[in-house]
């Protein structure tokens, strides 16, 4: 698809835009990232950093396979990237607290085992042996040894630093304000600091992708879903694995701080933190790990996930002007899917074809009036 002379411009310097620039760089292709504020300043720095393809999936299929392929890239990436991304191959315990949830957990375990994935049922004593700080009320847990975590902002910065070293330009403090086309092809990206000639433009503007899409008269159905998180003071090691309950997820980060997330709120572009959410998250955390009751929580923040109606990203060609591509709508999984998205988009651009087909992720699935299935 790409000719060596093509000028590639990426709108949005979140983890997705930076990952695409990095993987293009690995293929010897230079690009320019346009970010209106700072690299990773929105959803990508608000995230918890969970890499949870198994615990977060409700059924097998195309999207689950993509998540697994993405997850498999991080061990090597953590060695390859220059910055420490705090990757921890921790595993995850999905705690089961009641009989109804146990039935759901059994079903999840059944199809995942059928798919050849690693997952174990642990009874209460086995669960507590693995993580003694959990509440003794636990009935058992599903153990996913391959669901891990990392630092999402460090990963975003690492992609950006790596991309720059490989020849990318990252222009921060610059807003995309328009896109020009000539004879049905993109020709330039207009910013508040001037115009940049472009043969390929990638819309990686997270939950603002609709605004960038509108610049070429295209409806991109991505909307913000607020997530709030609370963070504890640094603590001595309390638990090792990521803990997920019906109410919250909990991760102890390498510096000892405990992260508790998260809400899922359709409140537009409002990034406020609310006392109700702080209370809910704190209560959920203390219920799972009683010792957190006497701990100080020192920070709370909110971020906006880029949500699509089927909760699956929009990636690939756009059916709009030629040269206009999309990589957005990663919703709850943008950190997990960052590397695989960067890799596949770079393949699409340089080879005309991605090694995992992107047809199922095209924007056109929403335009045909097709019934949209949730993941």
Among 12-20, 21-29, 132-140, 165-173, the segment contacting ligand FAD (CB under 6 A): 12-20
CA atoms of 65 and 70, how far apart (whole Å): 9
State how far the Cα of 117 lies from the Cα of 69, in Å rounded to an integer.
Answer: 13
Angle between helix 62-71 and 338-351 (nearest 10) = 100
| Residue 181 backbone phi and psi in degrees, to 5 | -130, 155
Does the protein bind ligand FAD through residue 35 (CB under 6 A)?
yes
Rounded CA-CA distance 124/254 in Å is 27
> What is the DSSP annotation of 5-67?
T--EEEE--SHHHHHHHHHHHHTT---EEE-SS-TT-SHHHHS--EE-TTTT-SS-SHHHHHH
Helix, strand, or coil here: 184? Answer: coil
- Among 334, 256, 328, which Cα is nearest to 292's? 256
32 binds ligand FAD (CB under 6 A): no
**Torsion-angle region of residue 194: left (phi > 0), alpha (psi -120 to 50) or beta?**
left
CB 296 to ligand FAD: min, Å = 21
Residue 205 interacts with ligand FAD (CB under 6 A): yes or no? yes
* Of 47-55, 89-97, 101-109, 115-123: span binding ligand FAD (CB under 6 A): 47-55
Closest CA to 109 of 161, 57, 177, 32: 57
Q: Which of 153, 146, 17, 15 is nearest to 84 (CA)?
A: 153
Which range of residues in 7-15, 128-136, 157-165, 270-278 is near ligand FAD by CB under 6 A? Answer: 7-15
The nearer residue to ligand FAD, 323 or 342, going by C-beta atoms, is 342
Q: How far is the CB of 13 from ligand FAD (least distance, A)?
A: 5
Cβ closest to ligand FAD, residue 17 vs residue 140: 17
Binding to ligand FAD by CB under 6 A, coded x per residue (else -) over 165-194, reads ----------xx------------------
Is residue 261 near ligand FAD by the rule CB under 6 A? yes
Sketch the per residue contact string, 216 through 245, with ligand FAD: x for CB under 6 A, - otherwise: -----------x-x----------------
Q: Which is nearer to ligand FAD, 77 or 140 (CB)?
A: 77
Query: Nearer Cβ to ligand FAD, position 64 or 140?
Result: 64
Task: Tell the smallest beta-carbon distance from residue 116 to ligand FAD (Å).
Answer: 23
* Closest distance to ligand FAD from the beta carbon of 251 (Å): 8
Q: Give 12 or 25: the residue with its C-beta nearer to ligand FAD.
A: 12
List 20, 24, 29, 34, residue binding ligand FAD (CB under 6 A): 34
Question: What are the structure tokens assigned to 351, written together?
Answer: 């080879």
Q: How far is the CB of 3 from ligand FAD (least distance, A)?
A: 26
Q: Least distance to ligand FAD from the beta carbon of 306, Å?
A: 5
Contact 318, 363 (CB under 8 A): yes
- Nearest CA-CA partner of 151 in 99, 228, 81, 103: 81
Q: Are 225 and 333 in contact (CB under 8 A)?
A: no
Mark residue 353 as left, alpha or beta (left: phi above 0; alpha: psi -120 to 50; beta: remaining): beta
Which residue lies nearer to ligand FAD by CB, 41 or 286? 41
Within 335-374, the residues that bind ligand FAD by CB under 6 A are 335-336
| Under rule CB under 6 A, residue 53 binds ligand FAD | no
Q: CA-CA distance, 242 to 51, in Å (whole number)?
A: 10
**306 in contact with ligand FAD (CB under 6 A):** yes
> Residue numbers of the site for ligand FAD (CB under 6 A)?
11-17, 34-37, 41-44, 46-50, 175-176, 204-206, 208, 212, 227, 229, 261-262, 303-306, 328, 330-336
């Amino acid at each position: 698809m790409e000719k060596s002379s093509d000028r590639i411009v990426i709108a949005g310097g979140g983890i997705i835009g930076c990952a695409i620039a990095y993987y293009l760089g690995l293929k010897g292709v230079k690009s320019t990232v346009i970010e209106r504020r700072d690299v990773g300043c929105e959803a990508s720095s608000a995230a918890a950093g969970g890499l949870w393809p198994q615990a977060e999936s409700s059924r097998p299929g195309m999207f689950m396979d993509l998540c697994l392929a993405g997850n498999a890239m991080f061990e090597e990436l953590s060695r390859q990237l220059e910055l420490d991304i705090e990757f921890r191959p921790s595993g995850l315990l999905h705690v089961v607290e009641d009989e109804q949830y146990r039935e759901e957990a059994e079903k999840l375990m059944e199809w995942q085992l059928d798919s050849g994935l690693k997952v174990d049922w642990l009874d209460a004593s086995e669960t507590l042996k693995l993580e003694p700080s959990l509440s003794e009320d636990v009935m058992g847990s599903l153990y996913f040894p391959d669901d891990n975590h990392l630092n999402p902002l460090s990963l975003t910065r690492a992609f950006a630093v790596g991309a720059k070293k490989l020849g990318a330009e990252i222009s921060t403090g610059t807003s995309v304000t328009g896109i020009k086309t000539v004879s049905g092809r993109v020709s330039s990206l207009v910013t508040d600091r001037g115009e940049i000639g472009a043969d390929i433009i990638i819309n990686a503007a997270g939950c603002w992708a609709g605004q960038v899409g509108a610049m070429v008269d295209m409806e991109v159905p991505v909307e913000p879903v607020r997530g709030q998180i609370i963070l504890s003071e640094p603590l001595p090691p309390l638990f090792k694995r990521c803990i997920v309950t019906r109410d919250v997820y909990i991760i102890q980060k390498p510096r000892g701080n405990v992260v508790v997330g998260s809400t899922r709120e359709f409140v537009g572009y409002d990034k406020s933190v609310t006392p109700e959410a702080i209370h809910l998250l704190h209560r959920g955390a203390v219920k799972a790990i009683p010792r957190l009751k006497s701990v100080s929580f020192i920070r709370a923040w909110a971020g906006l996930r880029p949500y699509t109606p089927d909760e699956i990203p929009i990636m690939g060609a756009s059916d709009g002007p030629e040269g206009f591509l999309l990589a957005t709508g990663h919703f709850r999984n943008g950190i997990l899917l960052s590397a695989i998205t960067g890799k596949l988009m770079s393949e699409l651009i340089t080879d005309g074809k991605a090694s995992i087909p992107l047809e199922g992720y095209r924007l056109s699935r929403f335009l045909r009036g097709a019934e949209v299935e949730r993941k």
